[in-house]
Every structure is written in structure tokens, then in C-alpha cells.
């Protein structure tokens, strides 16, 4: 799907992280690895530390903190937002939707439209797109997007393939009607459920309900332990998928926006890990300064990764007039947005106390 | 065996090239872990323009099997 929105402006962006850090090198004894062996892996992934939300903190709490930071910075409040879109795979409850909880908590009116989107690493693109649709229809003048995950809760602690990758974070974006002469926002979205099993939690939904049996962890061929109720990621196939689909997606998004790669100032890719971003950057022949790699101290934070990276990067306003955001992952889904963030307030990330 | 392939594989595994011959079994290479497999898939794309399925990599038993995946 391709769509350009003339009436789309990101007013502000913020991100919140749980304060607790897990230094990944410290996990060597837990994984029965020599520190040098683990250090070699960390050098490839580029992830040294992740943040871990304590049990009482959910993705919604992280997103609420980010949203409140936006309200403080803009002088706006929840009551000024016509809709709330919450994108996550770690909502507070199976039901009700977390967007409803956030509507109440952040003081949106009772005539607000609220949606949960179940999406991971493409989630921020999906949520911005939903906000764009609401604005384009004239249904909303201002939409609060909340994007976050506590993925550390979904992984088995003895599964190196994901324990060394994922971290927790929440982000928020305030999207509103733009001035008439603003640059349009372009969106390109793709999905292919053929790859569903490559990034999946097999049990705990309706297809395979949770039972005592599905709670049993078993080792895979690499010695990683997980149960059907834990997140599984097929590293090789996700690598193949990413290398196959992301470069054409970026080309598609640039063509839709009428931008050359040279005039595009920033290619903000989902911060999966350093290795894949370096592979993508080289494949697309982009210079390093245009493809930030920022997940070193926060890990792969799913739908929060793109807004978190912007908040960490703090690009000067004059250098973010042509920004391409690109998400890819669970679904499988992949999508891109081309935005003018020149007038956006990009706030530095905060720690949740 | 193809020297370029041997060099790529040795670099990926952080091993001396001399350790790798076509009959070398992957199971005996200490660097051949799940991360190495992902690196191999990326290397196949980058150096050979080849899409190698995860299943094919998992089925490979020897260095020669891996070479066939990119040069077969």
C-alpha cells in the first residue's frame, strides 16, 4: 500500500526507558560462555546493554511517560488529542485494549477514538500511518501515537538468540494537521504472512492455548532454551528477509517521495542490531553518517526503536527535512515513511525512575 | 577448494584458513554457532548475490556443502 498525506505533521517525539540496565557481557556465566566468546557476539550485534522493565512496569507506562514529556514540552494535554493509537505486542491485558487505559490515564476526552495495533518492529510506521488516515479523513486534528514493548518479558532467559538482542522502551509521537504548504508525508506498507513462523510466540493465543505442556522449555540445536510460550526468531530467515525486502522498500519509498538518496538526509532504519544495519547500509550504498546505528545501550526495542533512535540522535532541525523511516519484522511486515521533521520537537530520552 | 570462499568462511569464523578443507565437518569448528550461520547467510548475499535458505545451511555437514550453497 502506498499513500501520501498532505495534512501530516509530527509535532513532537519522546521516548522513555526503564532505568534498570542489563550489561550483556555479565551474562557470560549464565550462558556457560567464556567472556571472550560472548564479547565476540556482542561486537557483531553491537548491543552491549539493554534496559529491562521491572515487573510492575508495562509498555503503556513507558509510553505514558513519553506522552507526558510531550505534553510538558508543548503545553498541550491529553484533552487536546482526538485519537490515541497504541502499537505494541506487550499490552497490559488481553483485553481491554491498552489504548483505552491510556485514554483514561492521559485524560483524553470520551469522544476520542482509541486503537491498539498489534505490531512489532514495523509498528511505528503502522501507527503513524493510522494517524495519517485519521487526519486525512478530517476525523482528527491531533493524534497521540504510543509505541512500545517490554519484549524482555517474552523471551526465555536461557535463549541467547533473543536475550542478547531485545530491550524494553516506550515512545510517543504527537501527530497533527499541518500547514497548507508543508511537505507531504509518504507511506509504503507491505505484509507477507508466509513468513509468520519466523518471528512468533506459538502458544498462548487462541490457535494453541497455553497449557502446562506449552510452558515446558526445551533446547534447540544451538542449545538455546525456549518453550512455545516464548518468542522465537529464525535468525537466518529474518536476515534473508531483511536483505531481500528492505533495499527495494527504501527505493520504493524514495521514488514515491520523489527524493534521491543523495538529498535524503537520514535513513532511520529499525534498530535491530548493528550487523544487519551495516549489511543494509552497504547493500544500499549509503554513507554511514546517514544510517544511524544507535542500539548499543538499549537493544532492539521493537516499535519504539525508530522514535527512540531519533530522540537519541537529536539531529539538528535543518538536517531533518527529508527523513526516511523504515521498519521491518514480525508479520512479516515491512514499511517506510518519508517525512519532514524540520519543525518537530524531538525530546531527549528519559529514564523512568 | 575455491580460495576466495575459503577466505570468506575463515574470516566469518575468525579461524585461520588452514583449518578449513572441503571435508572439514562443521560440527568440529568451534566458531560454527547460530550467529555464524546468520553471518554465512549475509555473506552469501553480499559476496555471491545468493539467497541461501536457513534449512539448507542447517543441513550442511561440511565446508564443501557450504561452498556448494553459494557456488553450486
- Measure the CA–CA gap between A294 and A46, rounded to whole angstroms: 9
Q: Residues B43-61: what's their mean pLDDT? A: 96
CA torsion, ordered B55, B59, B62, B65, to nearest 10 deg: -60
Give per-residue pLDDT as tens, A245-298: 999 999 999 999 999 999 999 999 999 999 999 999 999 999 999 999 999 999
Q: Specify whether the CB–CB gap between A324 and A286 falls below 8 A.
A: no
Q: Is A7 a catalytic residue?
A: no
Q: Is the ipTM of this complex over 0.85?
A: yes
* Longest Cα–Cα distance in chain B: 28
Low-confidence ranges of chain A (pLDDT < 50): none
A158: its cell numbers? 536461557
Contacts of B46 in chain A (CB under 8 A): 279, 282-283
| Residue A221 confidence (pLDDT) | 86
Q: What are phi and psi of B46, to 5 degrees?
A: -70, -45
Residue A190 C-alpha cell reads as 507491505
pLDDT the model gives residue B70: 96
Q: At A259, list the grid cell.
A: 527524493
pLDDT of residue B72: 81
E-strand ranges in A265-332 read 266-269, 323-329
Closest CA to A280 of A294, A292, A295: A292
Chain A interface mutation, best of B54, B60, B66, B70, highest count of A Cβ atoms under 10 Å: B54
Report all structural domains of chain B as residue ranges with CATH numbers, in order of start. 2-71 (1.10.1200.10)
In A, which residues are within 8 Å of B34 by CB distance? 160-161, 221-222, 224, 235
Sign of CA dihedral A279, A284, A288, A291: negative
pTM of the full structure: 0.97
| The predicted structure's pLDDT at residue A182 | 85
Cα A326 to Cα A128, A208, A340: the distances in Å are: 12, 32, 14
Amino acid at each position: 500500500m502506498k499513500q501520501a498525506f498532505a495534512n501530516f505533521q509530527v509535532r513532537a517525539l519522546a521516548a522513555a526507558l526503564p532505568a534498570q540496565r542489563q550489561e550483556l557481557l555479565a551474562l557470560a556465566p549464565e550462558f556457560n560462555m567464556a567472556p571472550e566468546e560472548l564479547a565476540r557476539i556482542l561486537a557483531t550485534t553491537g548491543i552491549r546493554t539493554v534496559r529491562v522493565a521491572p515487573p510492575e512496569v508495562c509498555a503503556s507506562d513507558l509510553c505514558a511517560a513519553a506522552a507526558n514529556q510531550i505534553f510538558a514540552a508543548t503545553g498541550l494535554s491529553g484533552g487536546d488529542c482526538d485519537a490515541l493509537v497504541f502499537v505494541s505486542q506487550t499490552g497490559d491485558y488481553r483485553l481491554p485494549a491498552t489504548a483505552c487505559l491510556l485514554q483514561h490515564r492521559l485524560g483524553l476526552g470520551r469522544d476520542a477514538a482509541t486503537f491498539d495495533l498489534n505490531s512489532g518492529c514495523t509498528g511505528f510506521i503502522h501507527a503513524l500511518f493510522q494517524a495519517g488516515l485519521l487526519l486525512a479523513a478530517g476525523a482528527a486534528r491531533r493524534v497521540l501515537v504510543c509505541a512500545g514493548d517490554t519484549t524482555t518479558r517474552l523471551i526465555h532467559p536461557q535463549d541467547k538468540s533473543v536475550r542478547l538482542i531485545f530491550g524494553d522502551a516506550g515512545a510517543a509521537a504527537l501527530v497533527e494537521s499541518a500547514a497548507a504548504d508543508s511537505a507531504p508525508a509518504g507511506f509504503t506498507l507491505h505484509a507477507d504472512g508466509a513468513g509468520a513462523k519466523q518471528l512468533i510466540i506459538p502458544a498462548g493465543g487462541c490457535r494453541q492455548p497455553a497449557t502446562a505442556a506449552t510452558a515446558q522449555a526445551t533446547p534447540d540445536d544451538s542449545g538455546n532454551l525456549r518453550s512455545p510460550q516464548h518468542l522465537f526468531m529464525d535468525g537466518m530467515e529474518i536476515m534473508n528477509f531483511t536483505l531481500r525486502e528492505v533495499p527495494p522498500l527504501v527505493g520504493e519509498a524514495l521514488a514515491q517521495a520523489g527524493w534521491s538518496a543523495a538529498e535524503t538526509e537520514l535513513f532511520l532504519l529499525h534498530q535491530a542490531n548493528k550487523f544487519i544495519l551495516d549489511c543494509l547500509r552497504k547493500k544500499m550504498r549509503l554513507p554511514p553518517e546517514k544510517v544511524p546505528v544507535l542500539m548499543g545501550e538499549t537493544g532492539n526495542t521493537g516499535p519504539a526503536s525508530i522514535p527512540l533512535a531519533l530522540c537519541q540522535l537529536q539531529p539538528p532541525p535543518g538536517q531533518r527535512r527529508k527523513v526516511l523511516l523504515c521498519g521491518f519484522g514480525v508479520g512479516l511486515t515491512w514499511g517506510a515513511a518519508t517525512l519532514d521533521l524540520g519543525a518537530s520537537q524531538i525530546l531527549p530520552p528519559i529514564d523512568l525512575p | 577448494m575455491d580460495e576466495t570462499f575459503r577466505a570468506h568462511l575463515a574470516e566469518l569464523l575468525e579461524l585461520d584458513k588452514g583449518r578449513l578443507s572441503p571435508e572439514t565437518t562443521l560440527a568440529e569448528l568451534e566458531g560454527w554457532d547460530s550467529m555464524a550461520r546468520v553471518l554465512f547467510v549475509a555473506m552469501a548475499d553480499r559476496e555471491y548475490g545468493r539467497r541461501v535458505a536457513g534449512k539448507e545451511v542447517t543441513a550442511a555437514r561440511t565446508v564443501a556443502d557450504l561452498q556448494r550453497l553459494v557456488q553450486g
